[in-house]
Amino acid sequence: MKKKLAILLSITMVLMFAFAACGRGGNQDLPDSNAETDTVDGAKFGYSGDDPVQAAVYQYLVESVAPQYDPPEGAVSIPIVQLMNEEIDNEDGEAEVEGDFWIFNYVIEGDTLKMVSGGNHPGQMELIQAGSGYAVTEFEQVGDGSNFEPTARDIFEERYDMFMKFNSDKEAQESLRAQIIGDYVKANGLSVTKYQDEGWDPIDIPL
């Protein structure tokens, strides 16, 4: 019971970080979509699958969203990606994804990843094929505060209820978080066995 309470309370703390996120509710500065891009090694960013579109989403969250929180030098950035829809147009080389996206920055202390910053960035990403990989060209995010519901309804439309279910299920998010951290740790050879949110007990990483 203590562990479950710690998990739920740790997510509550993360939500507090979310409201401090930079640039929420608008388009982000994006990489040059005309650049040649090799297929992304998703394992470097915590993605264990083989979908190049999803791998590019993980890469974007780590390389373009995580720095908004000004993580300390040497920090480890690991996303949570809950996709609700993915559409790929192979003829035009374009893709679109909708989902509930999180990013967390950690520092390594001994055998533990300690979370220092992060937040929630749900929305819709547009991608284009670049070389043998994909690159995000547009990211429309759900707004904060009173703008949350109207922008979420506008972005997700008929999938709004699905989004709200994903966004409110903190236990499922924490389970997915642990799984992705485990994938990241194994793929990148980190000597850690736990992750921890400030003020709460460490949680074992499934390895």
User: What's the whole-number mean pLDDT along residues 129-146?
Assistant: 94
Give yes or no for residue 1 having a pLDDT over 60: no
User: What's the whole-number mean pLDDT along residues 42-51?
Assistant: 93
Structure confidence by residue, pLDDT tens digits, 77-121: 999 999 999 999 999 999 999 999 999 999 999 999 999 999 999
Q: What is the CA radius of gyration of the chain?
A: 17
Q: So where are the chain's domains?
A: 2-204
C-alpha closest to that of 10 among 184, 185, 199, 204: 199
pTM given for the model: 0.82
- Measure CA of the first residue to CA of the last residue in the chain; give whole Å: 23
Structure confidence by residue, pLDDT tens digits, 121-136: 999 999 999 888 999 9
